[in-house]
Structure 1
Amino acid sequence: MRYFIELSYRGTAYHGWQTQANGTSVQTTLEAALTQRFGKPMYVMASGRTDAGVHARQQFAHVELVEPFLFTDSFIYSLNCILPEDIVIHRIFPVREKDHARFSATFRYYQYLISRQKSAFESGLTYHFRPTLDEILMNEACKILLQHTNFQSFSKARANVTHFNCRLDFAYWERINEDSLTFHIRADRFLWGMVRTIVGTMIEIGQKRMSLELFEQIILSRDRNKAGRAAPANGLFLVEVGYPNEVLLARSMGQGAGFI
């Protein structure tokens, strides 16, 4: 039996999602809580790996059990009591054997938050960047970005992938107020470090230190060394992971008896 876990986390204290040999990860912490609750080793597979310091408002992972299990509200509450306060399980629901947290996902949607003002309450949850940014120019850069599919220039050089193509659904900057900007981007897949490098490069454009013509040349070069610095991890959020309706049907119908 396969079950999807819907969760969120603040990534500040973690060395990313994936289990690490030299630091605490979200995956290791979640698996430890499940192992403690079930009394046997438990392993999970996520929709994708977030980097160290990156947050998730919505993340999915799947876990497999030998027999059907009733995930009641009280059981999920007990798991959340075991987990640290910066990781929260929202639901656990049954899916079909072929449904996969990573490979069944149709899109990932990220947001990057920038604020000109320091906040006592948003520390670690936004990029405090004082210079004024021209979001009109940055949105022109987004239009250029959407005309392309190969984003090797924004991927870390050590990325272990077979290709660098991604299907972008949208990319745009939103002015929240005079001191806050949010970058929205959704794609079928993302390369390692891609969103933060795009943001870092567009910040150069927003400061009028890089032209739109040069930005397109960087994309066409497929050379990471020509792009800007990656923006800090603390402003990045995974906000939504999309699946076909039939995958999430059990979730929309409630926990039920935990069987399909």
Structure 2
Amino acid sequence: MARFFIRLSYKGSKYHGWQIQPNAISVQEILNKALSTILREEINVVGCGRTDAGVHASDFYAHFDMVQEAINDTEKFCFKLNRLLPRDIAAKRIFKVHPEAHARFDAISRTYHYFITKEKNPFRIETHWQIPFELEGHKMNEAAKILFEYQDFTSFSKLHTDVKTNNCKIYLAAWEETADEFIFTIKADRFLRNMVRAIVGTLIEVGRGKLDLDGFRKIIESKNRSNAGSSVPGHALFLSAIEYPETLKEVTT
């Protein structure tokens, strides 16, 4: 048995998220089929996380096991895989790892970006959320700093999930404003389901002047999802970076 990591990116517009769904197409399903076809055995990939419907990933990792170690030239294999995958899913690199390496559990941080456009732009329809209102970026940044004071983010989690804890360690949370867009960056050791979209939606309430900093803090402390803002659309969200420990090495022999 051999284990391989695959680094990929995908545009999530046509997919019902990463994870296999009973009645909808997913990125995981497409990748499973492509790998199984090339390797001529049933392959089931395990992702570094799961993105919601319409969410994109500019950097994503998954691992898979195979009975026969048939990948001798990983560059050539990656080329073959890309020829079989649709244009909106791209394999960047494939490399062998130790059998215990895990794409999800070994990840030590994940970074997301959320893109908001201030103006109508036909080239951003599937990657940005166009807003019809003004936002005060400095207020949203002040509120974002409050996130560092807490670890329990139940208020921003989808209800009835199967996780054991709602605690997360946030390393970075900040807004950048340009002439025509807002970009929110958030990095943490882990994220709850729907967490980033709920945080962005609540920060936007601050940016619109509908919520002050004290109110934002009280929402976090309430540990009640109904008190937070609405989740923003998924099509403007990108999983943009996954970090692994240096101990996770490529196996060369």
Name the TM-score, length of structure 1 as normaliser: 0.94
- Number of equivalenced pairs: 251
**2:105 maps to which of 81, 92, 103:** 103
CA contact (8 A) 1:71 1:93 kept: no
Match of 1:91 in 2: 93
Counterpart CA distance in 1 for 2:45 and 2:148 is: 33
Deviation for aligned residue 1:118? 1.8
Alignment of 1:49-198 (within 5 A): 49-68=50-69, 69-175=71-177, 177-198=178-199
CA displacement 1:68-93 (0-9 Å, x = unmatched):
32143232111111111000000000
Q: In the alignment, does 2:212 pair up with 1:211?
A: yes
CA displacement 1:82-122 (0-9 Å, x = unmatched):
11100000000011112100010000000000001122222
CA displacement 1:150-191 (0-9 Å, x = unmatched):
00000011222111000111101011x222010000001000
Counterpart CA distance in 2 for 1:190 and 1:72 is: 31
CA contact (8 A) 2:169 2:188 kept: yes
- SS of structure 1 residue aligned to 2:106: coil
Moved over 6 A (4+): none
Deviation for aligned residue 1:203? 0.6
- SS of structure 1 residue aligned to 2:140: helix
CA displacement 1:230-257 (0-9 Å, x = unmatched):
000011000000001131x43xxxxxxx
Aligned Cα root-mean-square deviation (Å): 1.1
CA contact (8 A) 2:13 2:126 kept: yes
Match of 2:10 in 1: 9
Q: In the alignment, does 2:35 pair up with 1:40?
A: no
Deviation for aligned residue 1:204? 0.6
Counterpart CA distance in 2 for 1:246 and 1:6 is: 17
Identity over aligned pairs, percent: 43
CA contact (8 A) 1:71 1:92 kept: no
Counterpart CA distance in 2 for 1:22 and 1:158 is: 21
Unaligned runs of 5+ in 2: none
Q: In the alignment, does 2:240 pair up with 1:226?
A: no
CA displacement 1:182-239 (0-9 Å, x = unmatched):
0000001000000000000111100001111111000000000000000000110000
Deviates more, 1:8-17 or 1:158-167: 158-167
Name the TM-score, length of structure 2 as normaliser: 0.96
Match of 1:30 in 2: 31
CA contact (8 A) 1:27 1:44 kept: yes
Counterpart CA distance in 2 for 1:67 and 1:40 is: 9
Report the AA paired with residue 113 of structure 2: Q
Alignment of 1:244-259 (within 5 A): 244-247=245-248, 249-250=249-250, 259=252
CA contact (8 A) 2:74 2:95 kept: no
Unaligned runs of 5+ in 1: 251-257
- SS of structure 2 residue aligned to 1:51: coil
Counterpart CA distance in 2 for 1:90 and 1:52 is: 22
Counterpart CA distance in 2 for 1:226 and 1:15 is: 27
